[in-house]
């Protein structure tokens, strides 16, 4: 934390929504060597802790100390500022915190204790902290805990840990409301308790795509000021059986294979993705299957838009309104049943369904830069069979400014529901008597050199593996909320305003 001191006659401007805390200050303890107060008999002071916005969406906690000789005046200020803070009703007072000590570089506990807990305590937020001892510990706990006690749930870890907490919360909400998650058409109950993500994983894509940076202090401050960002969630089913929810990437082929291989190399930490990524790239497997989807007609946006989803996004707002109107008109009748399905058969290197841009430090614009956080749609990206060189050109575009959809072998659609069945499953189902078909070789028999894999891939579902050769996916508009505000427009403008504040100080 950096500090400043304000003397009589000086000005300071900090919006109340960005004040973290106000505290009486003992100037003698502060050990200031210079300053007029040293000449005073007994100066009185208070310190305002506030959010300081830096470059690249980074926030940190700064403070400014105000002092004067009049004790009563000083106390009046403290009282008035504390009352103003009390009016910030969206701020959490009691949080339930889950820490995965094994995510990313295994720094979750340290990150929380050193960087986050002191800020929560400064902001007078009470916490119940739960350090997980196994996978699904947090999820299981969320089904038992008295959830109404809390204003939010915080997960310290990566995308997989977030996924666990999300499954616990959404699952709990449906159970309490008597909704059967196995019914793919069930209208799910919105989850009003917000989740905060303190990034301590390997990719931290959900945090990066919703805040603009993977930084524990920035995320802690978004939680403290009580930000709220609605988020679309897709449900994944197979044969009327619920499999998973997803908010970022649901990927088959390339990203599924990377994840499956990387799980065996967890000991490598985040580097495992580079190792498995390179290996998967060299293997160049493609997978055959049938994709069906319903285009998202309710939204004004398109995956090829130049503008991205930003704080207070009007596309998300309009899309949500449009969906609400449709629902009102249709009542209980499922309008989706009547809408057209598009069908595509082929061989694919990657099938990616993304509910958000999937930006992360490795890919700052993400897999679909114009995807929206809360528009009730997902972007379906199909990378058809192509040469290794072309696939590399496509991957390189994840890391630069060039249009990653501007390739003849890449198609992108904005969808509200999607289905996939692998060729293998179709063959098995359509010709169960042909026993020979069950005993296939590992690669395409017609063209052994083509790297077309007859075996199935795995789904990468927000960083969790999911084995299913047939799935149906449905986007649920704004099913949950995060302690975030989306990515803020024009970061430079924010830092310029902040410098004006600094000049005033
Ligand atoms: N105590 C624990 N021991 C083992 N696994 C755990 C524990 N707590 C949580 N997990 C599981 O660890 C998995 C991975 O954790 P996490 O997402 O935090 O890190 P990561 O995989 O390194 O990061 P990312 O998902 O961003 O790539 C999650 O699926 C979670 O269910
Ligand atoms: C030679 C150039 C190669 C460039 C490769 C770019 C890789 C970009 C990675 C983007 C992944 C974004 C999707 C996020 C997925 C997460 O859910 C998951 C778990 O955290 N992470 C991964 C890597 O699968
Ligand atoms: Ca979306």
pLDDT (0 to 100) of residue 428: 76
H-type alpha helices, 397-443: 423-430
CATH topology of domain 235-475: Tumour Suppressor Smad4 (2.60.200)
Confidence class for position 441, pLDDT limits 50, 70, 90: very low
Q: What is the pLDDT of residues 27-57, one digit of tens each?
A: 776 655 555 556 666 788 999 999 999 999 9
Distance (angstroms) between ligand 3 centre and the Cα of 130 equals 31
Mean pLDDT of the chain: 89
pLDDT (0 to 100) of residue 30: 63
Answer whether 370's CB lies under 8 Å from 296's CB: no
pLDDT (0 to 100) of residue 424: 84
User: Is the pLDDT confidence value at 435 over 70?
Assistant: no
ipTM of this predicted structure = 0.95
Tell me the catalytic residues. Answer: 159
Class of the 2-90 domain?
mainly beta
pLDDT (0 to 100) of residue 116: 98
Mean predicted confidence (pLDDT) in 220-242: 98
| Residue 158 Cβ contacting ligand 2 at under 6 Å | yes
Confidence class for position 199, pLDDT limits 50, 70, 90: very high
Confidence class for position 25, pLDDT limits 50, 70, 90: very high
Of all atoms in ligand 1, which is nearest to the CA of residue 199? 26
Mean predicted confidence (pLDDT) in 273-294: 96
Q: How many CA atoms lie within 13 A of 103 on its CB side?
A: 31
How far lies 45's CA from each of 19, 29, 50, 486, in Å? Answer: 17, 11, 16, 36
| Domain boundaries of the chain, sorted by first residue | 2-90, 235-475
User: Is the pLDDT confidence value at 497 over 50?
Assistant: no
Helix/strand/coil for 337:
helix
User: Is the pLDDT confidence value at 181 over 50?
Assistant: yes
pLDDT (0 to 100) of residue 504: 33
| Residue 103 Cβ contacting ligand 1 at under 6 Å | yes
Q: What is the 3-state secondary structure (H, E, C) of 101-160?
A: CCCCCCCHHHHHHHHHHHHHHHCCCEEEEEECCCCCHHHHHHCCCCHHHCCEEEEEECHH
Q: What is the pLDDT of residues 146-159, one digit of tens each?
A: 999 999 999 999 99
pLDDT (0 to 100) of residue 427: 83
User: Is the pLDDT confidence value at 332 over 80?
Assistant: no
How far lies 76's CA from each of 35, 45, 81, 234, in Å? Answer: 23, 11, 9, 51
| End-to-end CA separation in angstroms for the chain | 16
**CA angle, 248 then 205 then 359, to 5°:** 90
Mean predicted confidence (pLDDT) in 252-265: 95
Q: What is the pLDDT of residues 352-361, one digit of tens each?
A: 999 999 999 9
Of all atoms in ligand 1, which is nearest to the CA of residue 136? 31
Q: Global pTM?
A: 0.91
Q: Which of 100, 209, 248, 249 to mutate to test the pocket of ligand 2 (most atoms within 8 A of CB)?
A: 249
Q: Near ion ligand 3, which residues have CB within 5 Å?
A: 232, 355, 372, 375
Q: Which ligand is nearest to the CA of 246?
A: 2
Mean predicted confidence (pLDDT) in 440-450: 51
Q: What is the pLDDT of residues 72-116, one digit of tens each?
A: 999 999 999 999 999 999 999 999 999 999 988 999 999 999 999
Q: Which of 129, 158, 199, 216 to mutate to test the pocket of ligand 1 (most atoms within 8 A of CB)?
A: 158
Comparing 200-209, 394-403, 487-496, the range with the smallest average pLDDT is: 487-496
Of all atoms in ligand 2, which is nearest to the CA of residue 359? 12
pLDDT (0 to 100) of residue 338: 67
Comparing 1-5, 304-308, 395-399, 404-408, the range with the smallest average pLDDT is: 1-5
Rounded to 10 deg, the angle between the 254-263 and 272-283 helix axes is 130
């Amino acid at each position: 934390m950096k500090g400043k001191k304000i003397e009589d006659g000086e000005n300071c401007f900090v919006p109340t929504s960005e004040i973290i805390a106000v505290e009486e200050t003992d100037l003698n303890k502060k050990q200031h060597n210079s300053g007029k107060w040293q000449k005073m008999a007994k100066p009185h002071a208070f310190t305002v802790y506030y959010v300081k916005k830096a470059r690249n969406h980074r926030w940190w906690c700064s403070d400014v100390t105000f002092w004067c000789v009049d004790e009563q005046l000083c106390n009046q200020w403290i009282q008035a500022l504390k009352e103003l803070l009390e009016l910030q009703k969206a701020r959490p007072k009691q949080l339930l915190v889950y820490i995965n000590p094994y995510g990313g570089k295994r720094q979750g506990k340290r990150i929380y204790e050193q960087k986050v807990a002191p800020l929560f305590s400064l902001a007078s937020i009470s916490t119940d902290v739960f350090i997980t001892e196994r996978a699904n510990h947090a999820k299981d706990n969320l089904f038992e805990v008295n959830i109404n006690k809390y204003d939010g749930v915080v997960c310290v870890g990566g995308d997989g840990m977030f996924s666990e907490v999300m499954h616990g919360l959404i699952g709990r909400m449906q159970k309490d409301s008597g909704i059967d998650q196995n019914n793919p058409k069930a209208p799910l109950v919105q989850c009003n308790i917000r989740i905060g993500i303190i990034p301590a994983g390997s990719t931290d894509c959900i945090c990066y795509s919703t805040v603009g940076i993977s930084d524990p202090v920035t995320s802690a401050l978004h939680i403290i000021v009580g930000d709220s960002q609605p988020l679309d969630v897709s449900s994944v089913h197979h044969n009327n059986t619920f499999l998973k929810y997803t908010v970022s990437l649901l990927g088959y082929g390339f990203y599924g294979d990377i994840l499956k291989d990387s799980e065996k190399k967890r000991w490598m930490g985040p580097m495992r993705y580079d190792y498995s990524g390179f290996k998967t790239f060299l293997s160049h497997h493609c997978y055959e299957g049938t994709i069906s989807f319903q285009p998202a007609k309710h939204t004004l946006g398109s995956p090829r838009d130049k503008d991205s989803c930003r704080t207070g996004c009007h596309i998300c707002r309009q899309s949500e309104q449009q969906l609400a109107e449709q629902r009102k008109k249709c009542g209980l009748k499922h309008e989706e049943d009547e809408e057209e399905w598009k069908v595509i058969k082929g061989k694919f290197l990657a099938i990616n369904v993304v509910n958000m841009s999937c930006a992360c430090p490795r890919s700052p614009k993400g897999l679909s830069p114009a995807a929206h956080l809360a528009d009730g749609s997902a972007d379906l990206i199909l990378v058809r069979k192509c040469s290794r060189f072309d696939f590399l050109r496509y991957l390189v575009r994840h890391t630069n400014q060039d249009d990653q959809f501007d390739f003849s072998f890449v198609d992108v659609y904005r969808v509200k529901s999607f289905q996939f069945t692998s060729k293998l499953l179709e063959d098995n189902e359509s010709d169960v008597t042909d026993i020979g078909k069950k005993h296939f070789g590992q690669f395409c028999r017609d063209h052994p050199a083509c790297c077309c894999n007859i075996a199935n891939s795995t789904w990468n579902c927000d960083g969790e593996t999911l084995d299913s050769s047939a799935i149906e996916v449905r986007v649920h508009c704004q099913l949950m909320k995060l302690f975030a505000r989306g990515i803020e427009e024009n970061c430079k403008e924010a830092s310029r305003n902040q410098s004006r504040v600094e000049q005033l100080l």
